[in-house]
Amino acid sequence: MKIATWNVNSLNVRLPHVLDWLASAAPDVLCLQELKLEDKKFPKEAIEAAGYQVAFMGQKTYNGVAIISKHPIEDVVYNLPNFEDEQKRLIAATINGVRIVGGYFPNGQSLDSEKYPYKLAWLTALTEWLAGEMEKHPSLALMGDFNIAPYDIDVHDPKAWEGQNLVSPPEREAFFKLIGLGLTDAYRVKYPDAEKMFSWWDYRMQGFRRNLGMRIDHILLSAPLLASLTACEIDKEPRKWERPSDHAPVWATV
Partner DNA sequence: ATGGCATTATGCTAATGA
Residues 6+ apart with CB under 8 A from 199: 213, 214, 215, 216, 217, 234, 247, 248, 250
Q: Which is nearer to DNA, 101 or 254 (CB)?
A: 101
Cα–Cα dist 52/108, whole Å? 33
154 lines the binding site for DNA (CB under 7 A): no
In the complex with DNA, the residue whose CB is nearer, 147 or 222, is 147
Planar angle of CA 121, 147, 59, nearest 5 degrees: 75
Q: If binding is defined by CB under 7 A, does position 233 make contact with DNA?
A: no
Residue from 53, 96, 107, 127 binding DNA (CB under 7 A) = 107
Q: Is 23 exposed, middle or buried (0-12, 13-18, 19+ CB in 10 A)?
A: exposed
* Minimum CB distance to DNA, residue 98 (Å): 25
CB of 134 to DNA, least distance (A): 25
Does residue number 115 form part of the binding site for DNA (CB under 7 A)? Answer: yes
What phi and psi, each to the nearest 5 degrees, are found at residue 179? -55, -40
Count of residues binding DNA (CB under 7 A)? 30
Select which of 28, 52, 116, 145 is catalytic. Answer: 145
- List the catalytic residue out of 104, 116, 154, 187: 104
Q: Which of 24, 110, 211, 228 binds DNA (CB under 7 A)?
A: 110
Residue 234 interacting with DNA (CB under 7 A): no
Task: Rule CB under 7 A: say whether 176 interacts with DNA.
Answer: no
Q: How far apart are CA 7 and CA 220, in angstroms?
A: 16
Based on the residue annotation, tell me whether 104 is a catalytic residue of this protein.
Answer: yes
Q: What is the dihedral of CA 215, 219, 223, 225, to 10 degrees?
A: -140
Q: Residue 249: which of 11, 16, 43, 18 has the closest Cα?
A: 18
Query: Coil, strand, or helix at residue 225?
Result: helix
CA pair distance 22, 24, nearest whole angstrom: 6
- Alpha-carbon distance of 57 to 9, in angstroms, equals 15
Stretch touching DNA by CB under 7 A, among 34-42, 93-101, 132-140, 189-197? 34-42
Q: Which stretch binds DNA (CB under 7 A): 42-50, 125-133, 175-183, 242-250?
A: 242-250
Q: Which of residues 47-86 bind DNA (CB under 7 A)?
A: 60-62
Under the binding rule (CB under 7 A), the answer on residue 204 touching DNA is: yes
Closer to DNA by CB, 110 or 228: give it. Answer: 110
Does residue 7 bind DNA (CB under 7 A)?
yes
- Please give the DSSP secondary-structure letter assigned to residue 17: H
CA distances from 64 to 41, 68, 86 (A): 12, 13, 11
Contacts with DNA, residue ranges (CB under 7 A): 7, 9-10, 12-13, 34, 36-37, 60-62, 106-107, 109-110, 115, 145, 147, 165-166, 200, 202-205, 214, 216, 243, 246-247
Residues tagged active-site: 104, 145
